[in-house]
Structure 1
Amino acid sequence: MAVHWKLVVDAADPHPQAAFWAEALGYEVEDNSRLIERLLGLGAVDAAQITESGGRKAWRDLVAVRHPDDPYDKESGTGLGRRILFQRVPEPKTDKNRLHLDLHPDPGTRQAETERLVALGAAVQREVKMPGGEWTVMTDPEGNEFCVH
């Protein structure tokens, strides 16, 4: 039996991270506003837990991106497939990631893809050339490493 999962990324400011990764991957930022409105109306959540992002109510400390072709719960906006959740944490990133994403754009487009990602806020760390292949090591706007192959 397959297990449903999501990748969780600690962030200083989750909403800009979600916006970056949604653009980088061609994903969608989840819209939880319908659930938030319902919970606010019931008094189940406090307004301090909410922010506005992308012109709609959003959780202050959590936001996810999901693959646009995957199913999602229409009542909560929560993705039911491939998704990445960004959660606010108080401590800064201090060391190299133990887990990272490898992006695989179309063959022959790595340079153009790295340029696109830099325009979104990523930074190139180094170019790697090994017998097994070539790739670019980059960091997202909060310094999390990822590779473009």
Structure 2
Amino acid sequence: MALRLQCITIDAQDPLALAQFWAEALGWKIGEDVNEIEVWIERELGDPKNTGFPDILFLKNSTPKSGKNRLHLDLRPDDQAAEVARLEKLGAKQIDIGQSAEPTCTWVVMADPEGNEFCVLRERQS
């Protein structure tokens, strides 16, 4: 099959601001050809942690987000507590979408500055 996942597209009211948040969060960089309609971020070439992951495109959409995302990112840090604190300083917020009722919950649900949910998993156990 000759099909390849090129990018993940996220609607945004302010594509540049959201791209800047995610570039900082992931340690990626803003792409070269950006405008007020679309901004993309890309991983640093040669970084083995990011090999094979598609770019993320932030596309202008003036409709406010409503409801829970149908797709979200799960991020695995080296240190969950430190990463949650760092993401909060960047503008993310911890949210509860019902996971606190799960006694075995080991992840933290967060929302980016436009309210898109994502999860910070616990660090990988040896």
TM-score, normalised via structure 2 length: 0.81
Structure-1 residue corresponding to 2:59? 87
Structure-2 residue corresponding to 1:121? 91
Matched, 1:145 2:120: no
In the TM superposition, what is the alpha-carbon distance from 1:82 to its structure 2 partner? 2.0
- Give yes or no for contact 1:66–1:81 (8 Å, CA) kept in 2: no
Looking at CA atoms only, which structure, 1 or 2, has the larger radius of gyration? 1
Count of matched residue pairs = 112
Long gaps (5+) in structure 1: 33-57, 71-79
CA offsets 1:57-108 (integer angstroms, 9 cap, x no match): x3111000011126xxxxxxxxx962000001121101100000001011xx
Structure-1 residue corresponding to 2:23? 22
CA shift in 2, pair 1:81/1:114, >3 Å: closer
Equivalents in 1 of 2:86, 2:5: separation in Å?
31
Equivalents in 1 of 2:45, 2:103: separation in Å?
34
Cα RMSD after superposing both structures: 1.9
Equivalents in 1 of 2:120, 2:5: separation in Å?
26
Structure-1 residue corresponding to 2:39? 63
Map residues 19-58 of structure 1 onto 2, 5 A cutoff. 19-32=20-33, 58=34
Question: Larger strand proportion, structure 1 or 2?
Answer: 1
- Given residue 60 of structure 2, which amino acid in structure 1 is its aligned partner? R
Equivalents in 2 of 1:139, 1:115: separation in Å?
13
Long gaps (5+) in structure 2: 47-51, 122-126
Q: Secondary structure at the match of 2:58?
A: strand
Equivalents in 2 of 1:24, 1:101: separation in Å?
12
Q: Secondary structure at the match of 1:65?
A: strand
The runs of at least 4 consecutive aligned structure 1 residues that moved more than 6 Å come to none
TM-score, normalised via structure 1 length: 0.69
Q: Secondary structure at the match of 2:5?
A: coil
